[in-house]
Amino acid sequence: MFKCTPEQAGRLLSQPSCVVKKDVTADVAGRYKRAIESTGAQSIIQLVPQEAPLDFDVVPAIAAVPVSVFPSASPSVSAVGVGVPIPSGLTADAIQAPAAVSIPASAPVAPPADIPAPTVQPRSATASSLSRQEAIQIFVGKNHGYFEGKWKEAAQRKHQLSWNWAAFFVGFGWMGYRKMYLYSWIFIGVVVAELIAELAIGVPSSIASSINLGIAIGFGLKGNAWYQQHVNQRVDQILASHAPEQARIELARQGGTNIGAAVGFVAALLVLLGMIGVIAEG
């Protein structure tokens, strides 16, 4: 309707509110309002406060009013979000105190053809909002597209499983690389316990190999799901406890990858296995 690009429209609707036209008559404001609401968005017409005229001022016959479009309600602005309950109504023909209007239930009204594209001012980084999808992308970092595809693929299946070769071959190292440190320690604990049981009760090597293969297959099948659970938990915690700009920094710090941790966990497992072997020979 405003002849703007999808990027401009996204920035427009991501703001708490945006004035699309001001200093217009009630008739023009009403046309904008009807056209905006015909798209499913919501808008209000707000009376511009007029200063008391001096003796030599010419008082206008109709007060100028701004038209706003917005996606979310805020106590500090006369705005209401798409899908948010509407407190009261306002018509363009009777300009009253600032209020919000609901989405009309009648058939859409054709937008006026002469509405120009609104000027969307870029917001500063500190004032920008942060969507959960963007937060997940920042947290995952490298290979986000791969994991997003795997998660979508798993969501379409009943068992919600997807295969990860890295988790299959080096499960504990891969999880350390993805900063899933608790999972890595659990994996090492399972391997060590299995080895101790094998030495203590004399489990045949064929059975031990089958157990190890089963563990590897389990990590290969569940690795992506475990990582998704880890990502969701950490992202939700960060978004709930940080402002958007600080959250970006914290997401990048806690997320991403750590090659040092991957090497460290592999070394730790080798050391533990070596110690167990020495004790067993003694």
For residue 23, which of 46, 2, 43, 44 has the smallest C-alpha distance? Answer: 46
pLDDT of residue 165: 92
Decide: 35 and 112 in contact? Cβ < 8 Å.
Answer: yes
- 243 beta partners: none
Domain endpoint, select from 78, 99, 123: 123
User: Do 119 and 141 belong together in one domain?
Assistant: no
User: Do 81 and 109 belong together in one domain?
Assistant: yes
User: Do 138 and 116 belong together in one domain?
Assistant: no
User: Do 143 and 255 belong together in one domain?
Assistant: yes
φ/ψ region of 202 (left if φ > 0, alpha if ψ in -120 to 50, else beta) reads left
User: Do 167 and 247 belong together in one domain?
Assistant: yes
User: Do 97 and 194 belong together in one domain?
Assistant: no
User: Do 143 and 274 belong together in one domain?
Assistant: yes
User: Do 70 and 166 belong together in one domain?
Assistant: no
pLDDT of residue 21: 80
pLDDT one digit per residue (tens) for the chain, 282 residues: 777 888 778 877 877 777 888 888 888 888 888 888 888 788 888 876 655 554 444 444 444 445 555 554 433 333 333 333 334 444 444 333 343 443 444 445 455 555 555 554 444 444 458 999 999 999 999 899 999 999 998 888 877 788 999 888 888 789 999 999 988 888 888 878 878 877 778 777 778 788 888 888 988 898 999 999 999 999 999 999 999 999 999 999 999 999 999 899 888 888 888 888 787 776
How far is residue 131's CA from residue 235's CA, in Å, rounded to a whole number? 11
pLDDT of residue 148: 93
User: Do 93 and 142 belong together in one domain?
Assistant: no
User: Do 136 and 117 belong together in one domain?
Assistant: no
> What range defines the domain where residue 90 resides?
1-123
Encoded tokens for 246: 């600080």
User: Do 49 and 189 belong together in one domain?
Assistant: no
Domains in the chain: how many in total? Answer: 2
For residue 220, which of 267, 261, 175 has the smallest C-alpha distance? Answer: 175
Q: 10 Å Cβ neighbour count for 238?
A: 22
- 45 beta partners: 67
Which residues neighbour 21 within 8 Å (Cβ) at sequence distance 6 or greater?
Answer: 28, 29, 32, 66, 67, 118
**β-bridge pairing 65-70 and 18-24:** antiparallel
pLDDT of residue 91: 41
Domain endpoint, select from 89, 123, 157: 123
| Three-state secondary-structure class, residue 104 | coil
Domain endpoint, select from 98, 123, 148: 123
Encoded tokens for 240: 């709930």
User: Do 7 and 142 belong together in one domain?
Assistant: no
